[in-house]
Every structure is written in C-alpha cells, then in structure tokens.
Chains A and B, each alone.
Chain A
Amino acid sequence: AQKITQTQPGMFVQEKEAVTLDCTYDTSDQSYGLFWYKQPSSGEMIFLIYQGSYDEQNATEGRYSLNFQKARKSANLVISASQLGDSAMYFCAMRLNTGGFKTIFGAGTRLFVKA
C-alpha cells in the first residue's frame, strides 16, 4: 500500500538555524515523485520542492533541499537559515506516475520558528 509517514507532529527551531523535517514513504512503484508543500495559517498550499524517483542528485530550491535516500525510502526536507515566516505546516507528498497519477499526502509537521 502506498503511504507517506511524517513522524514529527511539531518541531521547534531557532531563527537562522537549519532544521530537518522527516518523511518516509512506501510504494512498490518504480516511478514516482516526491514533494514538499508549505501550508501557512491562511490555508493555501505552497509548493516548495520536487524530487523524481530517478533523479540521482538531491533537489535544491533556495533555502530548501530534499535529502533523498531511495534505499531507505526517505525524503527529508532541510530548511537552512530558518526565518520567522517559515512557521507553518509542512506536508510531504508522493505522486504515483501510474494509475491516474494520484498524490498522497502525509499527516504534516508543524514548524515553529523562535526569534
């Protein structure tokens, strides 16, 4: 069964420090995509970063990087130099590239950035 697991319901980080949000996934498919989305209190989901299952290099987008370990089926999000505006809910998601391209979301991690 396809599943996304985020084991950290809440995380605290000091402003300007780096933080890692954990994500593990389960699928028997060979072709899939992994995503991270940010959801501020306003409710809108904001795309952060994408990693394809066949990509050999870890994805990076500005202060965001995705630590992709395929053998461990993990796709952790690293946020460098945290800012107060990073306080939000973060969702890890997986899109299966077969059977209708369904996207499955994890339960989310709420990040609190302290000044």
Chain B
Amino acid sequence: DAMVIQNPRYQVTQFGKPVTLSCSQTLNHNVMYWYQQKSSQAPKLLFHYYDKDFNNEADTPDNFQSRRPNTSFCFLDIRSPGLGDAAMYLCATSRTRGDNEQFFGPGTRLTVL
C-alpha cells in the first residue's frame, strides 16, 4: 500500500514555465518535507511543514515555494524553472520532527527544456 505518493513521476517543463509537483500521504503524519536531489548528489532539504508551520531552509531559492492545504497534501511550486532546477524531487513525511524515520515517496524527476 502506497504511503507517500508523488505525482507525476516524470515532469517535463519549459525554461521559465511554472510547474507544480504534488505529494500526498496516507500516514497522517504531521511533518512533510521536500528535498531536491541532483544527479549523483545527496538529497538537499528545501523546506518542511510541521503541521501548518512552514520552515524554509536559508539557502532555498525564492523560486521555490510550497503549499500545504491540508494534512494529506503538500505541493512544490517552481515559479520560473531554470536548467539548473532539473533534478529528482523527493517528498518525505514523519510523524514528528524528532522521529527516527522519514518515509519517502518515489520522487518526481523534473526535466527543464
């Protein structure tokens, strides 16, 4: 049973064209995270929501925004994608921020043309 679902699995967008990636969870976890993982690199945390409280990482570009309309869903908006934003975007959840495990979705691979 899928617990963290990401749609779409593959997304192609054009340079500068806004794109939204979706994440949903059936775990009823309080925390949802968005990571960016470029080819052959470690995942890098962009931001996370603790319930409705948004926590942005200091080095996350303003081009990246997020919305969490309810517990189950979280969206990643890239307002003006550049070629350097091509990456795998991973969504993860945890019950609390101090939990010993984050549950990851399968990721969305974003291509920017």
Contact = CB atoms under 8 A, between A and B. Distances in A.
Contact of B104 (A33, A44, A100, A107): A44
Interface string B22-53: 00000000000100000011111100100000
B106 A42 contact: yes
18 contacts: A4-B42, A35-B100, A43-B90, A43-B106, A45-B90, A45-B102, A45-B104, A52-B100, A91-B42, A101-B98, A102-B45, A102-B57, A103-B45, A103-B102, A105-B44, A107-B41, A107-B42, A108-B42
Contacts of A102: 45, 57
Nearest to B101: A47
B20 interface: no
Interface of B: 33, 40-45, 48, 55, 57, 88, 90, 92, 97-98, 100-107, 109
Given A101-B98, A102-B57, A44 B107 contact: yes
Sorting the interface of chain A by its residue count into under 10, 10 to 19, 20 to 34 or 35 or more gives 20 to 34
B106 A97 contact: no
Nearest to A51: B100
Interface in A33-74: 33, 35, 37, 42-47, 50, 52
Given A105-B42, A105-B43, A50 B90 contact: no
Contact of B107 (A35, A43, A52, A100): A43
A4 to B, nearest CB: 8
Contact of A45 (B43, B48, B97, B100): B43
B106 A44 contact: yes
A24 B57 CA distance: 23
B105 A44 contact: yes
Contacts of B92: 45
Given A33-B100, A43-B106, A91-B42, 19 more contacts: A42-B106, A43-B109, A45-B43, A45-B92, A45-B104, A46-B104, A47-B102, A47-B103, A47-B104, A50-B100, A50-B101, A100-B48, A101-B98, A103-B45, A103-B102, A104-B45, A107-B41, A108-B40, A108-B42
Contacts of A50: 100-101
